Amino acid sequence: MSGVVYWLDMAGVIVFALSGVILACRSRMDPIGMLVLAAVTGIGGGTLRDLVLGVRPVFWVTDPTYLWVILATVSVSLMGFHYIHRLSRGFLPIADAFGLALFTVIGTHKALLLGSSGTVAVLMGMMTGVAGGMIRDVLAQRVPMVLREEVYATAAMAGGIVYVALHALEAPLTIAIAASLGVTLGLRLAAIHWHLALPVFAWVTVPPKTHDEAAPLSTPQKAKERVRIIRRERKKR
């Protein structure tokens, strides 16, 4: 792995670990809980990616620096606990967006490096970006962002597709990384700022049409259930 990609991976671990610490603070967890949430967020996605791709041992076993980085992030966070606790609730989604973009690039790059097809590489990039956050949210008893209607996994997939396309065109590594980061981060931050969301398919009850009691041949109509597309209403700023 090139030096640029390695340091981007470390940056992603720090950002995701910090998001785990912030959520642990809001969930009133002790320092061990903070460490657990930081660890699963920082290395959970990459661990699952390596297991699926058959990489043995996984990356953080080969290079324990990742574990020390997570421990250092939690330690520094504990010293600045009062400042972290006062961060606005909008900071967590933003930090998560940066981690998502960084890990999407790392996962896609590593899959291609191991000889995976473009389709698999995109899926591995998405898995690397979203799996750690999913585990973090489940442990904190929250609905994972990837399972909501928010533009989250879609942003990761778009960034992965851009990276794979530029790799196929033999573009320089720095350009492929920058473009993939920009697409993933841009889509996610735009979704946060403008409250963009994918439509939701749901069962809804359709009330019966008005029944005319005076009409002799009319029959009572029952309510019916239909699948409808429910679009998320944008919040007024």
On whether the CB atoms of residues 107 and 127 are closer than 8 A, the answer is: yes
From first to last of the 237 residues of the chain, give the pLDDT tens digit: 578 899 999 999 999 999 999 999 889 899 999 999 999 999 999 999 999 999 999 999 999 999 999 999 999 999 887 777 677 678 889 999 999 999 999 999 999 999 999 999 999 999 999 999 999 999 999 988 888 767 999 999 999 999 999 999 999 999 999 999 999 999 999 999 998 888 777 766 667 666 555 555 555 566 666 666 766 655 544
The token duo for 143 is 């609905």
Residue 177 neighbours by CB under 8 Å, 6+ apart: 4, 5, 8, 105, 109, 163
pTM of the model: 0.86
> What's the rounded Cα separation, in Å, for the pair 36 and 61?
17
Closest CA to 16 of 130, 127, 160, 109: 130
